[in-house]
Amino acid sequence: MADKYSELGREIYANIGGPNNVKSMYHCMTRLRIKIRDNSKVDIQGLKDIDGVLGLVNADTLEIVLGSGVNAKVAQDMVSQVGVKENEEFPTSTYQSEKSEVQAKAAEVHAQHKAQLKQTWWRKALGHISAIFIPLIPAFIGAGLISGVAGILRNMLTAKMLPGSWNLGVTILSMIASALFAYLNIYVGINTAKEFGATPALGGIIGGVVLLPGIAAPVTIPNVLDGKPLAAGQGGIIGVLLAVWLLSYVEKWFHKHIPDSVDIIFTPFFTVLIMGLFTVFAIMPIAGWISNSLVGGINWVLDVGGPVAGFILGLFFLPMVMLGLHQILTPIHLSMIQKMGYTPLLPILAMAGAGQVGAAIALWAKCRKNKDLVRLIKGALPVGILGVGEPLIYGVTLPLGRPFITACVGGGIGGAVVAAFGHVGSIAIGPSGVALIPLIANNMWWAYCIGLLSAYAGGFVATYFWGCS
């Protein structure tokens, strides 16, 4: 099997200008994300024609959809060929020797790049968010599932279905799960600093500052916006992202202006001091207002819009995934989890993947004589049921056109059903589909399951009768 992944990696290299044209790469849930040095050397059509490539998102970071599991093995093989690790910068010696060739195309490339910047600055922001949170996804899944198991056992204890001796075990499980969420700001601070070229430890400090360590009643810090005591964690993830992004500029400024002989002493001192004070007295109040507004606004939309809002969210989430725009929702999900204990958005948006499952089953039933299509569906359907939707998007529904639209309709139907029940939320983020069931809060797993079945049925019926030409 290793030869299969090595060959796929070699074909990808051949169509992106070789390892010398790669700045860095890493894998996420289903995609290989590559930062390209010279986009003019990338053969987009050649990449699409590679057997095993399910789709592409050609943005500031080239995203190659390979499917869950495959992407990790291909990424590992590709970085091993070069002698680096994922997310590490690739060697530049050969690339620099070709500098004259690049310069010969400078005018053309510069014009293309300038035009691209006007259209895709928001893609760069999404790329940064993706790079910050994707390394944390295994932790979200692991801690979230442990928290879900602890919740189920706690409910069984309350219902006296388990002996009281299980209390200690449940407490320990909850403690293990809390290790991530209690210090999530610090993890995000470290990753944000890495992404923007700052010192990771300094980013971690600012993430910790947001938690207001050492501040205990009766001591309080006033919120400059309303005069009320500042709450530990106020502003949450949004505040950490903003603070550490600004820290990266402050640290770089000091590195540039402080003499090398004392840089190691004064740069971290002034950076942490300035950004620590600015975080407490400016960023936390402002980010807290933004976070409260976002969470309150989303809850208001769901409360007022009900099934209609759920249908619209479920309908349009697949196109967001296709374009990579779903990454922008990660900080919002985490802010809702920090404030409410769960995110009501995720179960609704998860219905989009369920609509695809229903659409794929309909295609299997209607087009069973098409052996190639059936083979693709058989490969993509199991992971689709578990909530990883890209293989179905890029391998099955999107290439066929109309089934992609009917799959979206199925997602909208499921979203409407989940929103109609209300208060269906997830205590963590990660894969959706069936895999999300243990993470559903407030014992509302049954409502989520009904939503899944509705999305399956909606996607099936819409595709069977209107999605097949």
Annotated catalytic residue within 28, 367, 449, 468: 28
Burial grade of 107 (CB within 10 A; 0-12, 13-18, 19 or more): exposed
> Dihedral, CA atoms, 65, 68, 70, 71, nearest 10 degrees?
50
Helix (H), strand (E) at residue 246: helix 236-257
Q: How many C-alpha atoms does 409 have within 13 Å on its Cβ side?
A: 17
Closest CA to 33 of 57, 9, 11, 8: 57
Q: What is the DSSP string of 44-67?
A: HHHHHTSTT--EEEESSSEEEE--
28 has catalytic annotation: yes
The two structure tokens encoding residue 325: 């725009």
- The CA-to-CA distance between both ends of the chain, in Å, stands at 37
The answer to whether 154 touches 94, Cβ cutoff 8 Å, is no
Cα(208)–Cα(288) distance, integer angstroms: 16
Where does residue 173 fall: left (phi above 0), alpha (psi -120 to 50 degrees), or beta otherwise? Answer: alpha
**Phi, psi for 55 (deg, rounded to 5):** 175, 170
User: Cα Rg for the chain, rounded, in angstroms?
Assistant: 24
Evaluate the omega torsion of the peptide bond into residue 218 and state whether it is cis, within 30 degrees of 0: yes
Q: Annotated active-site positions, please?
A: 28
